[in-house]
Chain A
Amino acid sequence: MQQLLDGFATALTPTHLLFAAIGVLLGTAIGVLPGIGPAMAVALLLPITYGMEPTGAFIMFAGIYYGGMFGGSTTSILLNTPGESAAVVTAIEGNPMARRGRGAQALAAAAIGHFTGGIIGTLLIVLLAPFVAKHAVDIGAPDFFAIMVLAFIAVTSVLGSSRVRGVASLLIGLTIGLVGLDEMTGQQRLTFGSLHLADGIDVVVVAVALFAVGEALWVAAHLRRKAFSPIPVGRPWLSRADLRRTWKPWLRGPVIGFPFGAIPAGGAEIPTFLSYVTEKRLSSNKDEWGKGAIEGVAGPESTASASAAGTLVTMLTLGLPTTATAAVMLAAFQQYGIQPGPLLFQRESGLVWALIASLFIGLTLLLVLNLPLAPLWAKLLRIPRPYLYAGILFFASVGAYAVNADVFDLLVMFVIGLLGLAMRRYGLPILPAIIGVILGPAAEQQMRRALQLSDGSLTGLVNTPLSIAVYVVILVILFFPLVKRVAGRRTPPTPLPEREKVDA
């Protein structure tokens, strides 16, 4: 504790505060740019810190890191173009909110979610770092696969009103996820010999294409020609009702996000999705989902931020980068001759605690700087519709092109955008497709890795306590409705409130 206080003493000097503020601003500004996720933002800004002393440099990084992540959600909410994979889920509820004039609230919910998730996550770093460092490595392929199975079960709750169409969408996503070199054996799948497809199609590209490009085309097909009223901006702050709905998702986020961030190969995509599904299930405003439910922004954002904090635990204590951003941060550490790992806390304890203190400060600055900006950002949507959609297409194209400077990526985006148009026309929900792209490759890899480790024996899938526990949870979820129905028979039959929507 004393060490943390010393850390704050170091981080709270005016110079360091200034560095943190610059970091947050730069991180947000660059994170907002298309095609530049937090990893790229940190890599691009790395040279700025050359020649700074390590403490100052890392304080700035902490700002850039959280700022970059937050910038990604801003575009996700306002323009339906997620800047990074952790912000993909945010677009699902965040963008409809913005369209209904609640952009400021969505941004505020995201900002506070980021703050809460990050603060709790960082607290957990302080409290749990040694524990996590010890146990994170026990999580292996069978456990991951069990969690993926759970996630696939959860997909059923986002299939929409028509099961068959939802499943079709999921399969389209899985097919897109198959594209690329098979990671385990290096065999080409659906690449048609093109090197550009060998690494697969990035989930951010798929999300931007399906969300933004698909939507622009669909709007073009049925543009409301008359009565162009600008999107109302509404009142800038969260109302009491909003707060009542969001405080639980904010607090639940870290519970899901932090462990995922801390375990190797955890990442932020799957926990944000799980958070979305959890909030949807727990929400009392079910009919609002898909049209802009604020819980769907608050939960995933808090989860993403906490997962980012979790990532730092494994990076600092094990020297294990579990995300691209962490890998860049690791490289930054090495630039200063500092090797994160089991000895870091002993060797550089002053620096580590200053870094942790600066995470708290960075998050607070992020909130302080961005909350007042939320209504201003939301005003962006008042520009006339032709400019708005032209801007979205422009933005999406720059993002797709800037990463690899390759026209091919624009064509991939166009084709998937057309797919998004067709899916909108024929009522195929978009979300299952995105989930398919995220879950498919990860699930396949973990399953095959687990089976390889057990040399082909099927017991390799269930040979850890965690995996068994997860499967038990799955069985409970699957059979609970059945049990309830059987139990329900004994009581006098209650009239069904209303015939359920007929599925396919």
Chain B
Amino acid sequence: MQVKTWLAVAGALAAVLLVPPLLTPGADSAETTQVRQLRVLVPNAPGGGYDITARTAAKAMEDAELIRNAEVFNLPGAGGTVGLGRTVSERGNGKLVMSMGLGVVGSVYTNKSPSSLLDTTPIAKLIEEPDIVVVGKDSKYTSLRQLVDDWKANPGAVPVGGGSSPGGPDHLAPMLMAKAIGLEPKSVNYVQFDGGGELLASVLGGKVAFGVSGVGEYRDQIQAGTVRVLAVTSAARISGIDAPTLSESGVDVKFSNWRGVVAPPGISSADRDRLVQLFSALHKTSQWGDALKRNGWTDAFAPGDQFKSFLEEENKRVATVLKDLGLA
């Protein structure tokens, strides 16, 4: 009886040890010039910006047969810093990349995250998405100048809506604008909404004086004429949107939200080159080109070292703004 019990337990143990690995498709050997398998960590929830970028990129890679199997998984939390922590802890793993963007740069400060983006191995910047300064069609503002005059006169009475939490793109853009027109960032009445969707409702309903958000979610509204764009935050005008840039309206700010991919720290230079090559190849595919068009993203490809220096600059810029606000 006793023996039988032990045999059963041993058998069960053997089963739980052996069956899962046997039934799971194995990993490839690492010594190929091509990346065959890739895991993409998405540090926010399904449906979020990094998620859509990652899933779109993974699908384009598979369709273009650059890669056999790209697995996208979500590890949301703390504005992306939980995922960042995981990426940093996967030191040396050459088969993992994290989809990220400007929002994570700010979250590192607001969440007081122990790991920084500067710890990671930058692979490539992929896309940019300019923000827009937007009001509802019934708003009294028809130009940015009017808005700026009112804003300067009484910043408290001009609530700004944004779809990101403090440190995110929609929060940074109005703060940079305020600094440029000589307003104390702390005096800005920034009202946070849960994402661009909820913000849109407040802009349409005239709850906020103006909103700052990524252009993508608003294209249809702009076309339908329910909202009015007072300015775009990018350096150049955007095709299809009849609005001046900030600089043209006398506010000297150039700002774009961007997204890219980073890999864990300490990966071998061969791994790093392979990943950079993979994303360079992705950038050239027609599938990726179509995806950019479909999503209204601006191509802003910058591989490896270029991305690295860009990341460092952005990090500095974000840190300065957040220090002014007492958030970093």
Contacts and interface: CB of A to CB of B under 8 A. Distances in A.
Interface of A: 39-40, 42-43, 46-47, 50, 136-141, 181, 183-186, 188, 193, 195-196, 198-199, 264-265, 314, 318-322, 324, 327-328, 330-331, 334-335, 337, 339-344, 404-406, 449, 452-453, 455-456
6 tightest Cβ-Cβ pairs between the two chains A and B: A341-B220, A327-B47, A43-B46, A198-B78, A186-B166, A137-B205
A72 B21 CA distance: 30
Interface string B192-235: 10110110111011011000000001011101101000000000
Interface string B137-164: 0000000000000000000110100000
B111 interface: yes
B194 A265 contact: yes
Given A43-B47, A321-B47, A337-B294, A405 B220 contact: no
B82 A196 contact: yes
B270 to A, nearest CB: 28
Interface of B: 45-48, 51-52, 55, 59, 74-79, 81-82, 85, 110-114, 156-157, 159, 165-167, 189, 191-192, 194-195, 197-198, 200-202, 204-205, 207-208, 217, 219-221, 223-224, 226, 294-295, 327
A319 B191 contact: no
A214 B205 CA distance: 44
A279 B223 CA distance: 45
A320 B221 CA distance: 11
B102 to A, nearest CB: 16
B189 A341 contact: no
Contacts of A39: 45-47
Contacts of A198: 77-79, 81-82, 111
Q: Which of A184, A199, A264 gathers most chain B CB within 10 Å? A: A264
B197 A195 contact: no
A186 B327 contact: yes
Given A319-B217, A453-B159, A140 B46 contact: no
B220 A404 contact: no
Contacts of A40: 46
A453 B191 contact: yes
A137 B199 CA distance: 10
Contacts of B46: 39-40, 42-43, 324, 327-328, 331
B228 to A, nearest CB: 14
B197 A320 contact: yes
16 contacts: A39-B45, A42-B46, A46-B55, A181-B78, A181-B165, A186-B111, A195-B114, A320-B197, A320-B201, A327-B197, A330-B47, A331-B52, A331-B55, A335-B294, A339-B219, A449-B191
B220 A334 contact: no
B199 to A, nearest CB: 9
Contacts, number: 145
A328 B207 CA distance: 26
B62 to A, nearest CB: 9
Nearest to A195: B78
B201 A452 contact: no
Given A43-B74, A319-B217, 16 more contacts: A40-B46, A139-B205, A141-B207, A181-B110, A183-B192, A193-B112, A198-B81, A319-B220, A320-B201, A321-B195, A324-B47, A327-B46, A328-B46, A335-B294, A342-B220, A343-B220
A196 B205 CA distance: 35
A430 to B, nearest CB: 26
A461 to B, nearest CB: 14
A405 to B, nearest CB: 7
B111 A195 contact: yes
Contacts of B226: 342
Contact of A339 (B48, B75, B111, B220): B220
B276 to A, nearest CB: 26
A39 B48 CA distance: 12
Contacts of A138: 205
Given A43-B47, A264-B198, A322-B197, A455 B159 contact: yes
A139 B207 CA distance: 9
B77 A195 contact: yes
Contacts of A320: 197-198, 200-201
A334 B295 contact: yes
Given A186-B110, A455-B157, A342 B47 contact: no
A453 B295 contact: no
A452 B155 CA distance: 12
Nearest to A141: B207
Nearest to B58: A47
B87 to A, nearest CB: 13
A343 B192 CA distance: 27
Contacts of A406: 82
A27 B112 CA distance: 39
B316 to A, nearest CB: 19
B202 A140 contact: yes
Contact of A343 (B55, B156, B223): B223
B165 A404 contact: no
A321 to B, nearest CB: 5
Contacts of A340: 220
A198 B220 CA distance: 34
A314 B85 CA distance: 36
Contact of A341 (B165, B221, B327): B221
Contacts of B220: 319, 339-344
A405 B197 contact: no
Contacts of A42: 46
Contacts of B79: 181, 198
Nearest to A41: B46
Nearest to A347: B220
A182 to B, nearest CB: 9
B134 to A, nearest CB: 14
B45 A342 contact: no
A46 B51 CA distance: 13
A428 B207 CA distance: 41
Contacts of B205: 137-140
Contacts of A455: 156-157, 159, 189
A324 B48 CA distance: 9
Given A195-B77, A320-B198, A334 B47 contact: no
A42 B74 CA distance: 14
Contacts of A342: 220-221, 224, 226
Contacts of B112: 188, 193
Contacts of B202: 137, 140, 264
B200 A318 contact: yes
Contacts of B51: 43, 331
